[in-house]
């Protein structure tokens, strides 16, 4: 069942994982998993609890080094991937726990996301050179634009801890978008949101698909089925199905994996 | 006046330089109106302030703790003493301070590389070892570094241009104590402008990001090790400059001046003033310099014996510390700023609420906000929006 989707002469995938195996001690978290995120598509990864979705995500962004397997980003093989290299590869990721910088303002949080576009070095900051100043201004404008796009510009000068959870969630997304990635990894973007907020999120993710490739891990089946172009289903660390939402929905293996499993919404 | 406001609002460097100029004017006025004794006290405040400023960058902005900054000051002080051991030496004093800064920077780089791999109590322990070990170096190389007695610093004559300038401005002679105080405060102003530039720029933002969330900082492309080491280097350089001013002020570099007590004093200054605020570091340094003698004098005036009066100082000092931690947990400057910011946010929210009520709700896509009543800094506790699953 461990199929590696081949490129079959199509466009180069935004991200391709092949034969990825991860063991934690005696437990095999992922076993020969493969998937390819087509450029400009929204690729969902679903599966019951403990299926290895988050581990797969962590492999994709360098938090976990797989025991075997290859990670290929736009045709380039990434041997050793460290998290800080992600931004340079035009990849951005949101975290389940948000990981906002709590003691700087919302605007500064988003500016940190845009930081990869900055060039100025230590001397630029030390002497507050005009060039560094102009660059800072440009970063802040970019960050404000992203805040406006997500309709949270009114919170720019607030601190994250003073904001309600859905707003903080948007701040985390804004920080990732400010990097202007070509591949965006979303880790459970809908958790903790009301159904109205989830609808908005769905529209947003769909619209992002025209600007970048998106890979997302999500529990909420409604959302996944609505926004994803392709879905990979994991169970016990293995790929059990792969295809369009309709194909996956009717796949007997998927139904079996989810049968009895509590699926909210 | 408009031009002035423009510079203030739009240029970071302009704002810092204007503040520096105002600071310099205050320094001149104060130093011209005090005697030699006060001038030396102010010089002591300056070196504590410089070192505390460097430490507040490290601890407040980058989140690393150091119990070893006194030891880094020792490197600066001994460099100054070695360069100024000859009264006829013609090396300009600014070069001496710079060289001392450079030596502490080198040592700080080595320590910083090790520190970047350590966290919390381990980092505290490692830097504590530095604070304890470094005075021993002076004893071990006693013939070169003067052993227990330390090295005497022979201050070169006050430069002629400084004497001339002083005479032109006030018609008086500049005393050596005044000269030393000017040297300390000019060093402080230069250091603070550079530190403030760093704190406001890209470098400072990266330091804060690393402090607040390492994983997110890495995902934004920041290399944690580099950010930590650069913060340590900067604060070590400030400690070196402070050590140099200390040696010049005390006319001595001796191991007894750089014990763990000095490192703890610096940390106290930073905490009293407010972590991460340069102005807080300065206020903390001022408190530590002037509170003990002030309390001792009050004790003496109240009829206590000299010993009793001297015992009063640590007591009051401890009480102030406890009071600040209880009443202003973010430090004097930090707590003031936070309450001002909270008031401003509430006012803005009230104004926005009033405007919203008259014009109607704009659009449907705005997130559902029920946070009007929250101050920045208070954990959000809105019933309908309780976070779920905030594990990572």
pLDDT in tens, A190-223: 988 998 999 999 999 999 988 899 999 988 888 9
Q: How confident is the model at residue B279 (pLDDT cuts 50, 70, 90)?
A: very high
Q: How confident is the model at residue B212 (pLDDT cuts 50, 70, 90)?
A: very high
Q: Note whether A188 and A203 are within 8 A (CB).
A: no
Q: How far, in Å, CA of A193 to CA of B386, rounded?
A: 10
Q: Does B251 touch chain A (CB under 8 A)?
A: no
Average pLDDT over residues B60-75: 94
Q: How far, in Å, CA of A176 to CA of A99, rounded?
A: 11
Q: How far, in Å, CA of B324 to CA of B203, rounded?
A: 30
Q: Check residue B326 and give its pLDDT.
A: 87
- Maximum average pLDDT range among A78-82, B6-10, B388-392: A78-82
Helix, strand, or coil here: A213?
strand
pLDDT at position A258 over 90: no
User: What is the value of ipTM here, to two decimals?
Assistant: 0.89
Residues from chain B that touch A99, judged by Cβ atoms under 8 A, are 213, 215-216, 219, 392
Average pLDDT over residues B304-309: 83
Q: Check residue A2 and give its pLDDT.
A: 37
Q: How confident is the model at residue A259 (pLDDT cuts 50, 70, 90)?
A: low
What is the distance in angstroms between the Cα of B250 and the nearest Cα belonging to chain A? 30
A7 vs A125: which has the higher pLDDT: A125
Residues from chain A that touch B370, judged by Cβ atoms under 8 A, are 164
> Which residues lie below 8 Å from residue B363, measured CB to CB, with a gap of 6+?
A151
Q: What is the mean pLDDT of chain A?
A: 88
Closest residue to B377, CB basis, from A61, A92, A161: A161
Q: Note whether A89 and A96 are within 8 A (CB).
A: no
> Which residues lie below 8 Å from residue A90, measured CB to CB, with a gap of 6+?
A179, A180, A181, A182, A183
Q: Check residue A6 and give its pLDDT.
A: 46
pLDDT at position B106 over 60: yes
Give residues 119 to 178 of B whose Cβ lies within 8 Å of A.
none
pLDDT at position B51 over 50: yes
Q: What is the pLDDT of residues B228-270, one digit of tens each?
A: 999 999 999 999 999 999 999 999 999 999 989 899 989 989 9
pLDDT at position B183 over 60: yes
The pTM of the full predicted model, rounded to 2 decimals, is: 0.87
Q: Does B3 touch chain A (CB under 8 A)?
A: no
Long-range Cβ pairs for the range A193-200 (8 Å, 24+): A193/A166, A193/A169, A194/A166, A194/B368, A195/A265, A197/A166, A197/B367, A197/B368, A198/A222, A198/A223, A200/B365
Residues from chain B that touch A122, judged by Cβ atoms under 8 A, are 203, 230
Residue with tokens 């900055």: A118
- Angle (nearest 5°) at CA B258 between B256 and B262: 115
Q: Are strands A91-93 and A183-187 parallel, antiparallel or unpaired?
A: parallel
Q: How confident is the model at residue B370 (pLDDT cuts 50, 70, 90)?
A: very low
Q: Note whether B65 and B59 are within 8 A (CB).
A: yes
Sheet with A27-37, edge to edge strand ranges: A27-37, A15-24, A68-73, A76-77
Q: Does B375 touch chain A (CB under 8 A)?
A: yes
Q: By CB neighbour count within 10 A (0-12 exposed, 13-18 middle, 19+ buried), where does B190 fall? A: middle
Q: Does A201 touch chain B (CB under 8 A)?
A: no
pLDDT at position B227 over 70: yes
Mark yes or no for CB contact A128/B16 under 8 Å.
yes
User: Which of B12, B59, B216 is best to mutate for the A interface (most A CBs within 10 A)?
Assistant: B216
B274 torsion bin: left (phi>0), alpha (psi -120 to 50), beta (else): left
Q: How confident is the model at residue A50 (pLDDT cuts 50, 70, 90)?
A: confident
Q: How far, in Å, CA of A16 to CA of A18, rounded?
A: 6
Closest CA to B252 of B53, B43, B74: B74
Q: Does B109 touch chain A (CB under 8 A)?
A: no
Taking one residue from A and the other from B, the number of pairs with CB-CB distance under 8 angstroms is 179
Lowest mean pLDDT among A33-47, A247-261, B72-86, B286-300: A247-261
Q: Note whether A214 and A29 are within 8 A (CB).
A: no
Average pLDDT over residues A163-188: 94
Q: Check residue B389 and give its pLDDT.
A: 38
Q: Note whether B213 and B14 are within 8 A (CB).
A: no
Percent of chain B with pLDDT over 70: 87
What is the distance in angstroms between the Cα of B207 and the nearest Cα belonging to chain A? 11
Closest residue to A96, CB basis, from B217, B220, B392: B392
Q: Check residue B367 and give its pLDDT.
A: 45
pLDDT at position B373 over 80: no
Residues from chain B that touch A53, judged by Cβ atoms under 8 A, are none
Percent of chain A with pLDDT over 70: 94
Mark yes or no for CB contact A115/B202 under 8 Å.
yes
Lowest mean pLDDT among A7-11, B58-62, B316-320: A7-11
Q: Check residue B350 and give its pLDDT.
A: 78
Q: How confident is the model at residue B207 (pLDDT cuts 50, 70, 90)?
A: very high
Q: Are strands A238-243 and B151-152 parallel, antiparallel or unpaired?
A: unpaired
CB neighbours of residue B6 within 10 Å: 11
Q: What is the pLDDT of residues A145-160, one digit of tens each?
A: 999 999 999 999 999 9
CB neighbours of residue B318 within 10 Å: 10
Q: How far, in Å, CA of B248 to CA of B93, rounded?
A: 10
B116 vs B369: which has the higher pLDDT: B116
Q: Check residue B355 and give its pLDDT.
A: 63
Average pLDDT over residues A128-134: 91
Q: How far, in Å, CA of A111 to CA of A103, rounded?
A: 14
Mark yes or no for CB contact B222/A101 under 8 Å.
no
How far from each other are the two terminal CA atoms of chain B, in whole angstroms? 52
CB neighbours of residue A128 within 10 Å: 23
Q: Does A199 touch chain B (CB under 8 A)?
A: no
Q: Check residue B4 and give its pLDDT.
A: 66
Tally of residues, chain B: 392
pLDDT at position B377 over 70: no
> Which residues lie below 8 Å from residue B199, measured CB to CB, with a gap of 6+?
B57, B61, B207, B278
Q: Does A132 touch chain B (CB under 8 A)?
A: yes
Q: Does A96 touch chain B (CB under 8 A)?
A: yes
Q: Check residue A36 and give its pLDDT.
A: 93
Q: How far, in Å, CA of A146 to CA of A140, rounded?
A: 10
The full set of domains in chain A, from first to last, is 1-90+181-265 (3.40.50.300), 105-180 (no CATH)
A49 vs A228: which has the higher pLDDT: A228
Helix (H) or strand (E) holding A232: strand A230-235
Helix, strand, or coil here: A17?
strand
pLDDT at position B368 over 60: no
Q: Check residue B341 and give its pLDDT.
A: 81
Average pLDDT over residues A104-127: 93
Lowest mean pLDDT among A188-197, B65-74, B271-280, B353-362: B353-362
Closest CA to B123 of B73, B64, B72, B70: B64
A253 vs A145: which has the higher pLDDT: A145
pLDDT at position B381 over 50: no
Give residues 5 to 24 of A whose Cβ lies within 8 Å of B.
none
Q: How confident is the model at residue A5 (pLDDT cuts 50, 70, 90)?
A: very low
Residues from chain A that touch B192, judged by Cβ atoms under 8 A, are none
Average pLDDT over residues B286-303: 88
Closest CA to B281 of B33, B70, B79, B59: B59
Q: Check residue B331 and give its pLDDT.
A: 87
> Which residues lie below 8 Å from residue A15, measured CB to CB, with a gap of 6+?
A36, A37, A60, A71, A72, A73, A74, A91, A183, A213, A215
Closest CA to B101 of B203, B195, B210, B24: B195
Q: Does A162 touch chain B (CB under 8 A)?
A: yes
Q: Does B209 touch chain A (CB under 8 A)?
A: yes
């Amino acid at each position: 069942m461990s199929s590696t989707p081949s490129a079959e002469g199509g466009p180069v995938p935004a991200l391709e994982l092949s034969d990825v195996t991860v063991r934690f001690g005696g437990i095999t978290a992922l076993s020969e998993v493969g998937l390819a995120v087509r450029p400009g598509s929204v690729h969902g990864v679903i599966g019951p609890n403990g299926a290895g979705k988050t581990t797969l995500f962590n492999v994709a962004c360098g938090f976990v080094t797989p025991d075997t397997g290859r990670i290929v980003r736009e045709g380039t093989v990434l041997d050793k991937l460290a998290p800080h290299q992600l931004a340079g590869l035009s990849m951005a990721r949101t975290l389940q726990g948000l990981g906002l910088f709590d003691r700087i303002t919302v605007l500064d949080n988003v500016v940190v996301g845009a930081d990869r576009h900055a060039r100025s070095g230590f001397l630029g900051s030390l002497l507050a050179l005009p060039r560094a100043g102009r660059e800072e201004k440009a970063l802040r404008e970019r960050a404000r634009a992203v805040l406006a796009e997500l309709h949270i510009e009114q919170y720019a000068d607030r601190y994250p801890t003073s904001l309600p959870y859905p707003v903080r969630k948007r701040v985390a997304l804004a920080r990732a978008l400010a990097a202007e990635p070509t591949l965006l990894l979303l880790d459970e973007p809908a958790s903790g949101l009301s159904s109205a907020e989830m609808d908005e999120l769905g529209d947003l993710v769909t619209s992002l698909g025209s600007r970048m490739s998106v890979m997302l891990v999500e529990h909420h089946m409604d959302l996944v089925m609505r926004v994803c172009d392709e879905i990979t289903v994991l169970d016990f660390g293995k790929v059990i199905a792969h295809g369009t939402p309709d194909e996956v929905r009717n796949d007997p293996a998927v139904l079996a994996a989810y049968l009895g499993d509590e699926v909210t919404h | 006046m408009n031009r002035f406001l423009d510079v203030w609002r739009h240029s970071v460097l302009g704002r810092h330089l204007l503040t520096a100029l105002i600071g310099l004017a205050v320094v001149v006025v104060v130093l011209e109106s005090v005697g030699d004794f006060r001038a030396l006290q102010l010089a002591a405040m300056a070196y504590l302030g410089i070192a505390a400023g460097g430490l507040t960058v490290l601890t407040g902005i980058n989140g690393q703790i150091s119990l070893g900054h006194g030891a880094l000051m020792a490197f600066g002080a001994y460099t100054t003493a070695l360069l100024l051991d000859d009264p006829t030496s013609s090396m300009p004093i600014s070069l001496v301070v710079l060289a001392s800064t450079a030596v502490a920077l080198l040592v700080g780089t080595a320590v910083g590389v090790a520190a970047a791999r350590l966290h919390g109590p381990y980092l505290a322990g490692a830097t504590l070892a530095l604070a304890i070990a470094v005075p021993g170096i002076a004893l071990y190389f006693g013939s070169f570094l003067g052993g227990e007695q330390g090295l005497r610093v022979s201050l070169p004559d006050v430069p002629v241009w400084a004497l001339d300038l002083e005479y032109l401005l006030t018609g008086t002679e500049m005393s050596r104590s005044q000269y030393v105080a000017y040297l300390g405060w000019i060093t402080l102003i230069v250091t603070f402008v550079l530190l403030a530039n760093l704190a406001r720029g890209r470098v400072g933002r990266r330091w804060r990001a690393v402090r607040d969330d390492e994983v997110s900082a890495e995902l934004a492309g920041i290399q944690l090790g580099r950010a930590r080491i650069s913060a340590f280097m900067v604060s070590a350089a400030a400690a070196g400059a402070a050590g140099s001013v200390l040696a010049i002020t005390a006319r001595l570099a001796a191991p007894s001046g750089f014990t763990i007590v000095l490192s703890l004093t610096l940390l106290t200054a930073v905490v009293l003033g407010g972590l991460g605020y340069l102005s807080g570091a300065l206020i903390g340094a001022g408190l530590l310099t002037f509170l003990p003698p002030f309390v001792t004098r009050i004790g003496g005036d109240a009829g206590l014996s000299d010993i009793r009066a001297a015992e009063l100082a640590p007591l009051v000092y401890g009480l102030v510390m406890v009071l600040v931690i209880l009443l202003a947990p973010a430090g004097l400057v930090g707590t003031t700023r936070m309450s001002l910011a909270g008031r401003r946010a509430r006012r803005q929210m009230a104004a926005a609420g009033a405007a919203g009520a008259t014009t109607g709700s704009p659009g449907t896509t705005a997130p559902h906000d029920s946070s009007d009543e929250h101050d920045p800094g208070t954990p959000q506790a809105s019933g309908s929006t309780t976070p779920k699953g905030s594990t990572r």
